[in-house]
Amino acid sequence: MKVAVWDTYVTKKDTTVMHFDILVPEEIKDATQIYQYGKEYLKTKNQEEQTLTSKECRFCHLETVKPHWEEAINKKGYFIIEMENCN
As a whole number of angstroms, the longest Cα–Cα distance in the chain is 37
Residue 66: per-residue pLDDT: 96
Question: pLDDT digit string (tens) for 21-69?
Answer: 999 999 999 999 999 999 999 999 999 999 999 999 999 999 999 999 9
Confidence at residue 60, expressed as pLDDT on a 0 to 100 scale:
97
Domain ranges of the chain: 27-87
**Is residue 3 within 8 Å of 69, Cβ to Cβ?**
yes
Q: Please tell me the CATH code under which domain 27-87 is placed.
A: 3.10.510.10
Residue 85's pLDDT band (boundaries 50, 70, 90)? Answer: very high
Partners of 80 in the β-ladder: 22
Q: Which residue, 17, 37, 49, 48, is CA-closest to 80?
A: 37
